[in-house]
Structure 1
Amino acid sequence: MDYKMMDWKAKFPQELQAKISKVEAKIAPKLAEMDEQALYNQQRVLELFRKHKVSEEDLVSSTGYGYDDIGREKLEKIFADYFKAEDAYVRPQLVSGTHAIATALFSVLRPNDTLYYLTGMPYDTIQEVIGVAGDNPGTMKEYGINFAYTDLLANGKVDYQAAKEKLLADKSIKVVAIQRSRGYATRDSFVVAEIKEMIEFVKQVAPQAVIFIDNCYGEFSETTEPTFYGADLMAGSLFKNAGAGIVKGGAFLVGRHDLIEGAAARLVAPGVGKGEGPTWGYMRDFYQGFFMAAHTTVQAIKGSIYTAALLAEMGLEVSPAWDAPRTDLVQTVIFHQPEPMIKFCACIQHYSALNSYVDPVPSYMDGYEDQVIMASGSFTEGSTVELSSDGPLREPYALYIQGGLSYEHVKIAISNAVNETFYQG
């Protein structure tokens, strides 16, 4: 049968078919632009693989102490080069982006030091690390580390005047943290050009402070990264963008050599640092995931563009808009009511590769203060470079949709979710 005769939209109501066709035509130039971005970033990665002479032997993993792991050392040089940083720490022992962030911050901060967030209150799991939410052992608060932040302006941008006053007045501020992605807020994620401006501001006002970037969901989303512009230390997850859905665990840090050494000492032990850390069976996935990251990240972003355009066509409030600059994988949709939010999230689960028969139920999760609804039929648990959605059951009932290993999967899942949420029953 001629594939052109097989209309995947045929089962939808005529009105929805028309909306999809309209959206497809509208976003086509934007999708082509994203393909060019993927090509640029892929070329950079390929050149680094060639520069460092990656070979089959580098894919062999180590055990025990992990001494003299040549593949691990080479991979960390590739990460450092790609992010234009002095050093990198890429390990399966870092179990998540949150773990990498906590490791980095605890390695720099000491009792009576202050961690200051320039980009407002951080998201839920970091609040738990700091100790401003939850009742957990081992928080920064328990260690006598102070925390401060400056609220963002009404438009979601940094309040530079208030931040300047805070930075000049509080000499205990040792780390200035910048959160690239929105977390569970409805503000826009910060594009790299905005983060560049933040870095320049901090270096001028508080040059002694360590500038830390929470880059989760951000890698390969643009052609530049915050470390290009002088960020001192940056964290990301390997089972998000940088692992392309191939990596099954781990996280990374990039930045100044002394800060990377400090983080390694914090994670392992002083005097051991980067020298130990077996890679078990991870190295092939780490290399292949990083090689595929440019392509896979753009597949997810193209899915987010389609999602934003179609849901806006349905009259929903979306952020970012389909034609807005993209700097991460997160697409926010505001439902203003719990019922359609839960229904839409369930539909994404039903059109996942795994556990499509499962109905997600709002529940309390470790690290979160409110009940959370979550759909994730991913091959790797928590791999939000794969299609997933989640959000807290609280006003304004915002669902955060992210990921998609292929644009085609996102398109099918989101279209069916719109159909079943708004056209059936």
Structure 2
Amino acid sequence: MTIDQLDKLAREVENEVQPIYRHIEERAMQNHARVLAGFHLARTSDYHLRGTTGYGYNDAGRETLERIYAHVFGAEAALVRGQIVSGTHAIAIALYGLLRPGDELLAVQGSPYDTLEEIIGKRGNASGSLKDYGISYRQVELTTEGKLDWAAIEQALNSKTRVVLVQRSRGYAWRPALTLAELKKLIEFVKARCPNTYVFVDNCYGELVETAEPPAVGADLAAGSLIKNPGGGLAPTGGYIVGKKELVERAANRFTAPGIGAEVGPTLDHHRLLLQGFFLAPHTVAEALKGAVFAARLFERLGFRVSPAYDEPRHDIIQAIALETPQRLIAFCRGLQAASPVDAHVLPEPDYMPGYEDDVIMAAGTFVQGASIELSADAPLRKPYAVYLQGGLSKEYVRLGVISAARQVLQVG
């Protein structure tokens, strides 16, 4: 396919996906109204935009931000801090807050995201893993259709099961993202059999995609990263934990120290960006979703398998494209990197990354290091050599990036 033919195909795809765009915009309007209501409920004022230093005692802006998050997520309380460096860090804080020696952690969707395996102790011998603390782990595999195996989950639940771990996004797996309706059913299923078991949700990549969040459908606790969806492309770092007040407090004690908890934590000079980023997040997420729809349809038209299909309902911002060979995978990431505003001249190479089992290739020419809401693609080098595309500050930027990636893939053949 020539460059002119690819550009013509891209124009056809852009016209074809307009009805899907309109549906995404309708959801974004609902989510924007919910976020705006949170700002109003918290009586957000100009002085809340200023940060604090040192211990961060009596930080009114921080407390306001956490009230807004609690409202938007349908939670009793929230811990939202710039000192949390990633989604993996936020998840670790939550798990260590919930679990005690002798407890069991049960994952119900097969292996969790790669970076959680060493935290759990499922892989490697990292000091301080859950396994190191005498916390056991088991997992239930998904069905061959990629769905929850209800019979196997029921059989696995027992009196030692303290936490059921749920991953909302697809991660590095060729499976559908979990819907909120499925999550609600799972929570009710678990609570009916083990009322004292907590359901914890890794919420990364799923925020503001649907019109509610996990705590609103009964999740005890959920966590994620601010340089993904809820940061709106402005947050320079940070993570959040939301859910039941008592459990957020337990996580806060793990975050700082028992007796100190959430009372400290300076917001420094970036607090305005956390507030402003969250305000913009519904729109930014909608742009990322439109970009994913465009990418899905373009690569469908080019003959590749994609998940989800362009017109399927979406429950996270990730678009998986099966490229089938490592050469095409590397070409895609290099093409996307070449269209980035930062480090466009850099050639991504697969390499070892801490926390991952396989070599990983990443394309992310972002203003905030590793901010996958801006526009990034990454993949472990393993079959079916699927690339996982996420983010996009504007649908126009995603279109440019995806076309650049497609050109490189087509050149490989």
Q: TM-score range by the shorter chain?
A: over 0.9
C-alpha contact 2:291 2:395 (8 A) present in aligned 1: yes
What runs of 5+ residues in structure 2 fail to find an aligned partner? none
1:204 pairs, out of 179, 182, 192, with 192
Q: Pick the aligned partner of 2:360 from 372, 377, 387.
A: 372
2:149 to 144, 159, 162: 159
| 1:24-35 pair list within 5 angstroms | 24-35=14-25
1:23 aligns with 2:34: no
User: Corresponding residue for 2:117?
Assistant: 127
Instruction: Encode CA deviations 1:126-163: one digit per residue, 9 max, x unaligned.
Output: 01110111231111111111001100000000000010
Q: Which residue in 1 is equivalent to 2:89?
A: 99
Which range moves more in the overlay, 37-46 or 291-300? 37-46
**For 1:266 and 1:257, how far apart are their aligned partners in 2?**
14
CA distance in 1, matches of 2:401, 2:81: 33
1:423 shift after superposition: 5.0
User: Secondary structure at the residue paired with 1:120?
Assistant: coil
**Contact 2:38–2:67 (Cα < 8 Å) also in 1:** no
Report deviation, 1:194: 1.4
Amino acid at match of 1:228: A
Q: Distance in 1 between matches of 2:245 and 2:42?
A: 19
Q: Verify: 1:263 aligned to 2:251, yes or no.
A: yes
- 1:147 aligns to 2:137 (yes or no): yes
- What is aligned with 1:231? 219
Contact 2:80 2:240 in 1 (8 A): yes
Q: What secondary structure is seen at the aligned counterpart in 2 of 1:262?
A: helix
- Residue 154 of structure 1 aligns with an amino acid whose one-letter code is T
- Contact 1:118/1:176 (CA < 8 Å) preserved in 2? yes
Structure-2-length-normalised TM-score: 0.98
Cα distance in 2 for partners of 1:326, 1:279 equals: 34
1:231 is displaced (CA, Å) by 0.4
> Does residue 82 of structure 1 match 2:72?
yes
Alignment of 1:312 onto 2:300: yes
User: Which AA in structure 2 matches 1:145?
Assistant: I
TM superposition shift of 1:21: 2.8
Q: CA deviation at 1:416?
A: 2.1
Partners of 2:51 and 2:270 within 8 A in 1: yes
Counterpart for residue 385 of structure 1: 373
What CA deviation, in whole Å up to 9, does each residue of 1:368-413 have, x standing for no partner? 1111111110111111001111101111111111111010000011
How do residues 174-253 of structure 1 correspond to structure 2 at under 5 angstroms? 174-253=162-241
Deviation string 1:324-361 (CA, Å, 9 cap, x unpaired) is: 11111111011111001101110000000100000001
**Paired residue type of 1:32:** R
**1:347 matched to 2:338:** no
Q: Distance in 2 between matches of 1:45 and 1:229?
A: 18
**Matched-pair contact (CA < 8 Å) for 2:180–2:217:** no
- What's the Cα RMSD here? 1.3
3-state SS of 1:142 partner: helix
Deviation of 1:22 (Å): 2.5
1:357 to 320, 345, 351: 345
2:30 paired with 1:40: yes
TM-score normalised to structure 1 length: 0.95
Q: Distance in 1 between matches of 2:200 and 2:329?
A: 34
1:314 Cα deviation after fit: 0.3
Is the contact made by 1:212 and 1:233 (CA closer than 8 Å) also made in structure 2?
yes
SS in 2 for 1:175: strand
Q: Percent identity?
A: 46
Count how many residue pairs are aligned between Structure 1 and Structure 2.
413
1:47-86 equivalences under 5 Å are 47-86=37-76
> What residue ranges of structure 1 are gaps of 5+ in the alignment?
1-10
Partner of 1:333: 321
Alignment correspondent of 1:405: 393
Q: 1:424 deviation in Å?
A: 7.6
The amino acid across from 1:206 in the alignment is: C
CA distance in 1, matches of 2:267, 2:93: 19
One-letter code aligned to 1:151 = E
* SS of residue matched to 1:82: helix
Aligned-partner SS, 2:327: helix
Whether the 8 Å CA contact 2:103–2:162 is kept in 1: the answer is yes
C-alpha spacing 1:424/1:105, structure 2 compared with 1 (3 Å): closer
Structure 1 runs, 4 residues or longer, greater than 4 Å off: none
